[in-house]
Homo-oligomer: A and B are copies of this chain.
Amino acid sequence: MQHKPNIVDIAEITGFSITTVSRVLNGKGEKYRISKATREKIKSVAEELEYVPNEFARNLRIGKSKTIALIVPSLKNPFFAEIASVVNTEVRKYGYITLIGDSDDQVENEKTELSHLSSRSLDGMIVVPCGEKWDHLVKVHESGLPLICIDRYFEDTSLSYVSSDNYEGAYSATKYLIDQGHTDIACIQGVRHSMPNIQRVKGFTDAMKDAGMDTYTVTGDAFSEQNGYLETKLLLSRGKRPSAIFAFSNMIAMGCLKALKEENVRIPEAISLITFDDNPYMNYIDPPLTCISQPVEDICKIAVKILFSHILDDDKTPKHVLLKCTLKVKESVKNVSYSS
């Protein structure tokens, strides 16, 4: 037998019918009253032949692929790489496979990936959407393919989502800066229309207003290093420099660091820096960055759980979950209460 063995081969060798073989191999032997002797014989032959079922034939027949797709803006961003890693691991626990798509933060790519992937009869989809429109996502979802958004999401839709409580996270980061005596704070935001960004801006401005402050800046338009770099350069060139910068992502923070270093502005002596997102490198950066850490692992686990409740239990009610962030105080924020 040089070709890959299939159930027909096993049926011929054991002398039983294809049906019986299929049932035994699917663990439905008991249910269909196949005798123990038969079951064991079939199983042993299957093992001997190193039989591996052809997923395509199986998928074709039952219309399910045991495959879900994950679309992220960019795998190169460690934040999304971690998401990919966790989702991949969690999904495997259900015996499913994950296809990963990279949208490069372009809605067009997102759409292309969506249609590419959907030719593979997916059973579900997890998306970190990158656009400001979501018709295409809702359409997919309404066509019967369970879809859940993580990190970025949309309100007022039938789509489930799991994300951080960005408002609260930004609020507490800002409050922390204020408590440390900062009065002139600039925040460098990410993609403007994205929900995390909207919430963060809101959290930031609310915290400022609640503290009765009005000298603040909100600038920037991408979660990228480049944006962080350019905006920081601009901030530094202003007449009066802010005393603290709030970067809305780890990539933005990298850009800030680059710019601050270039201009020889010491952190936190000359300017304080706080950022969204945490990762192992943060501890070794000069100085270690105080940050708002998102519960990435939990977000992914919950998202996968919800997705499978949609897939397996046919539970269609949209679920909306926001998880608390944690403020991790390190060394990039200076207390200026007394020195100013």
Contacts and interface: CB of A to CB of B under 8 A. Distances in A.
Main secondary structure of the interface of A (DSSP, over half): helix
A283 B56 CA distance: 47
A85 interface: yes
B283 A284 contact: no
A258 B283 contact: yes
A261 B117 CA distance: 47
Interface string A74-92: 1110100110110011000
Contact of A75 (B65, B85, B102): B85
Interface in A270-319: 280-281, 283-287
**This protein's copies in its complex:** 2
Contacts of A89: 102
Nearest to A100: B100
Contact of A85 (B74, B116, B281, B285): B74
A99 interface: yes
B75 A78 contact: no
Contacts of A78: 78, 81
A121 B56 contact: yes
A120 interface: yes
A55 interface: yes
A115 interface: yes
Contacts of A121: 54-56
Given A75-B84, A78-B81, 17 more contacts: A52-B119, A54-B121, A55-B120, A56-B57, A56-B65, A56-B120, A57-B60, A76-B81, A88-B102, A89-B102, A98-B99, A99-B99, A100-B100, A257-B284, A258-B283, A281-B281, A285-B285
Interface of A: 52-57, 59-60, 65, 74-76, 78, 81-82, 84-85, 88-89, 97-100, 102, 115-121, 225, 254, 257-258, 261, 280-281, 283-287
The 3 A-B pairs of least Cβ separation, nearest first, read A286-B286, A75-B85, A81-B81
